[in-house]
A = this chain, B = another copy of it.
Amino acid sequence: MSTQLNETHDPSLTSWVDSANGGGSDFPIQNLPFCVFRRRGSSEAYRGGVAIGDQVVDLAALGDAFAGAARTALQLAAREQLNGLMDAGPAAWSALRLALSRFLRSDAPARPDVLIAQADAEYAVPAQIGDYTDFYTSIHHATSVGKLFRPDEPLLPNYKWVPIGYHGRSSTIGVSGRDFRRPRGQTRSSSGNEPQFGASRRLDYELEVGIFVGGGNAQGDSIEAGQAEEHVFGLCLLNDWSARDIQAWEYQPLGPFLSKNFATTISPWIVTLEALAPYRAAWQRDAADPQPLPYLDYPALRAEGAFDIELEVLIETEGMRREGVAPARISQSNFRHSYWSVAQLVAHHTVNGCALRAGDLLGSGTQSGPDAREAGSLLELSAGGKQPLSLPNGEQRVFLEDGDRIVMRGWAARDGRPRIGFGEVAGTVLPAR
């Protein structure tokens, strides 16, 4: 996919939806992220929507508004799940984006009849996720977690060569706002051999970027790194809830399982790669790091392999809610720190002939940055549970308590360009059963 800019990126564009203009919104007309939604509390069918300001464009209400490729793409985008649109490929995505941009511009006729206020909407997971893969792309996260699990060898010898990943659970992926119960499980006993059983006492979040696969590949085929972004529909925010005590006991030798598969939460909005084209960044490597193997290399990698997306995590405890204290930011990071690019993840995933399908979800892994305050999990922020975080109302946290609400936000903004926001992904910990 080219990162060439086109008329939809013009910073001077404004919309007849006033709330999209003026710089305060995550969703100016240059963004146009997709979701699946319906009126809150209704029994309407879910259908595709696009964010503009504080409104959702109801794509199922647009009818015959567009022609040609945009019309075909609109029909796919209006469905209950976006797999068809994702499968349609970059030309279709681009045609629909252009048509939506023109439809929403200030000089086009206002069509408030196709809008629903976001405050009145509820969202669903926007695609049937056939398979969910979670990667481990932050070398800062891998190193600091490695120090806790393996003090003698924090970063394993394969890390700088292999985009480490593993398969996760698609059945428990939910959309922002869907709360979940604290998991129960086996944990290592502090005394003796017999493990303990009970509710996790080291429940954590992980700040990640989600990557929705567009058109896939046939089993046995591979997607070349240079073409890989043509197979990526867009990005979202992802919280990979993790039970560290369950993880520490179960993860050898086959990796995390029950410590992760109880809940994963994503933001409702998928921001397309085209919307993010003005926010590409150089791929970051230390001079001492090895060059990527040829199947992980491609012309655009070094200049613009990364995405400059600011990320932050906020916590709101039950106590803070009760006292009216605003959610407190406990971490900020940036997706540009990722050791592996999105295209490299796709190329690596398929180099062995593994089939990706439209709607598959890849997690980036926890996006910790180089600085300690950029750590993307409590495990790191609390140095393995040893250094409590102090919250504005005087509470402390090492891991999550029941009632804690975690909110993640993301946005791209630089060079005076409009803010391309991801909205938020939020979830609250309910007590164990």
Contact = CB atoms under 8 A, between A and B. Distances in A.
Contacts of A255: 166, 251, 253-256
Contacts of A169: 131, 167, 354
Contacts of A157: 193
A352 interface: yes
B250 A162 contact: yes
A412 to B, nearest CB: 29
A360 B253 contact: no
A230 to B, nearest CB: 19
Bin the interface of chain A by size.
35 or more
A399 interface: no
Interface in A148-192: 149-150, 156-158, 161-162, 164-172, 174, 180-181, 183-186
Interface centre among A158, A263, A433 (most CB of B within 10 A): A158
Nearest to A216: B171
Interface stretch (A31-39, A66-74, A289-297): A289-297
A243 B352 contact: yes
A356 interface: yes
Given A219-B171, A294-B197, A433-B220, A165 B352 contact: no
Given A197-B293, A255-B254, A294-B197, A220 B181 contact: yes
Contact of A184 (B195, B254, B256, B351): B351
A222 B433 CA distance: 9
B184 A352 contact: yes
Contacts of A354: 169, 171-172, 258, 261-262
Contacts of A263: 219, 353
Nearest to A221: B433
Contacts of A231: none
A194 B433 contact: no
Contacts of A348: 258
A146 interface: yes
A130 interface: yes
Contact of A131 (B171, B180, B193): B171
Interface string A192-215: 011101000000000000000000
Contacts of A165: 254, 257
A208 B221 CA distance: 26
B293 A352 contact: no
A355 interface: yes
A166 B352 contact: no
A304 to B, nearest CB: 25
Nearest to A243: B352
A249 interface: yes
A247 to B, nearest CB: 10
A326 to B, nearest CB: 29
A136 interface: yes
Contact of A258 (B146, B194, B249, B352): B352
Given A136-B254, A156-B253, A194-B290, 12 more contacts: A150-B253, A157-B193, A164-B254, A183-B353, A186-B293, A220-B430, A243-B352, A254-B255, A258-B349, A261-B352, A262-B352, A353-B433
* List of 7 A-B pairs having minimum Cβ-Cβ separation, nearest first: A255-B255, A183-B352, A167-B167, A166-B254, A254-B255, A258-B352, A181-B220
19 contacts: A161-B195, A162-B250, A164-B250, A166-B166, A166-B255, A167-B257, A167-B261, A172-B219, A180-B353, A185-B352, A197-B293, A219-B262, A222-B433, A251-B253, A253-B255, A255-B255, A258-B354, A262-B352, A262-B354
